[in-house]
Amino acid sequence: MGRPSIDPEMLIRMLLVGYCFGIRSERRLCEEVHLNLAYRWFCRLGLDGDVPDHSTFSKKRHGRFRESDLLRELFDTVLRRCVAEGLVGGEGFAVDASLIKAEANRERGVRGDRGLPAEATSRAIDEYLAVLDDAAFGAATPVIPPFISTADPAARWTGANKGPAFFAYATNYLIDLDHAVIVDVEASTAVRQAEVTAARTMIARVNYKHDLQPKRLAADTAYGSAEMLEWLVNQRRIEPHIPVIDKSERKDGTFSRADFSYDPAADLYRCPSGKELRQYRRAFRADHPDTPPDDTYRYRASKMDCDACALKSRCCPNTPARKVTRSIHEGARDVARDIARTDAYVVSRRERKKVEMLFAHLKRILRMDRLRLRGPCGARDEFLLAATAQNLRKMARLIPVHAVPVPA
């Protein structure tokens, strides 16, 4: 005889109780559902319905949703209800990511350059191998981590929280700024590139699934790369209320790029002494490549101009002539810089703290500072359930009780 089966709906309802009220232990969850009448009512157990044994519950929840999109469907259903109740304005979104510790002992990692032992096998290892080419996991960065967990190799060794390093996943939230409803959630590995990829995935998915397209996106500097800004401005037509990642400022007292003015009509820069910096000073064949291989144009001053210039010691003291670089996405970066000078940007910067508050709530109130499930699928399931629980709690707080129709 095997274990008795559990009604999937009851399983989901019990999980929601656990995530809504921060009951992380499956044993305690089963006890609470057994004793608490409100939980029994929500799980449709009646007064004498049998609550599953915690070991059966644990076994069933670990494998049940791996192959299905049921938890994603549940999240979308709750989001649709939030939209129908007018809790999602759709005008401004914010995006951010937070690290959640993986269910992996930090003392049990193996050296990253040696890789996993050949004899190691587990479901988490299978999942790790399956996402090696995924841009949100294995393909996010070519950098080999110093340590790999044998229990959950897809979890990333990170010291990003400034304390002792640990194995972690990142949960990525895309929220609507009206009431901080989570409009999408995505699991990724704990590196910045993967978090930016996750942000793109969520913006595209929420547009495709729910027809939501924000006018502006608020985010921190991690999302201010030239490629991301280009994607937002020119491909999605979204205003980036995001600080630009800019390494052009010089700290040695010589002129920075901001001291040179760009003339888009003539495609040249003018230096502080009024001379021109051009990409080309002679005509090239028609088939000369237009896009540089490293996505960066180079504008050079004439050596004759610089040799005769009184400002040379403050401009290019160690080179014969000054060179200024410009990303092929500089137009999008300029759009973001212009937005950063507006009052609307100040408002967005204040509003984007709402995502951080959701992460604080997730960790402190829902007690999700550490995952219970292993592997990318486990992280995805847990993040989806937690975000669903947060949206449900928000609905319960914002929708007046008398507005909810009571069945006859």
First to last CA, the chain: 42
Least CB distance to ligand SF4 at residue 315 (A) = 3
Q: Which residue number, 271 or 368, has a Cβ lying nearer to ligand SF4? A: 271
Q: Provide the total of helices (H) and of strands (E) in the chain, helices listed first.
A: 14, 13
Least CB distance to ligand SF4 at residue 284 (A) = 23
Least CB distance to ligand SF4 at residue 271 (A) = 3
Question: In 3D, which of 148, 221, 118, 150 has the Cα closest to residue 158?
Answer: 148
Instruction: Catalog residues that contact ligand SF4 under the rule CB under 6 A.
Output: 271-273, 275, 301, 305-306, 309, 311-312, 315-316, 322
Q: Which residue number, 34 or 270, has a Cβ lying nearer to ligand SF4? A: 270
Q: Which residue number, 163 or 274, has a Cβ lying nearer to ligand SF4? A: 274
**Burial grade of 261 (CB within 10 A; 0-12, 13-18, 19 or more):** exposed
Distance CA 275, CA 90 (A): 47
Q: Which residue number, 89 or 272, has a Cβ lying nearer to ligand SF4? A: 272
Least CB distance to ligand SF4 at residue 311 (A) = 4
Distance CA 170, CA 100 (A): 6
3-state SS string for 263-283 = ECCCCEEECCCCCEEECCCCC
- Look up residue 19 and give its two tokens: 């995530």
Least CB distance to ligand SF4 at residue 317 (A) = 9
Q: Which residue number, 216 or 322, has a Cβ lying nearer to ligand SF4? A: 322
Least CB distance to ligand SF4 at residue 389 (A) = 59
Q: Which residues of 214-231 are buried (b: 16+ CB within 10 A; e: fewer)?
A: bebbbbbebbbbbebbbb
CA angle 212, 215, 221 (to 5 degrees): 105
Q: Which residue number, 275 or 394, has a Cβ lying nearer to ligand SF4? A: 275
- Look up residue 138 and give its two tokens: 């294995």
Q: Which residue number, 271 or 373, has a Cβ lying nearer to ligand SF4? A: 271
Least CB distance to ligand SF4 at residue 78 (A) = 58
Strand partners, 99: 170
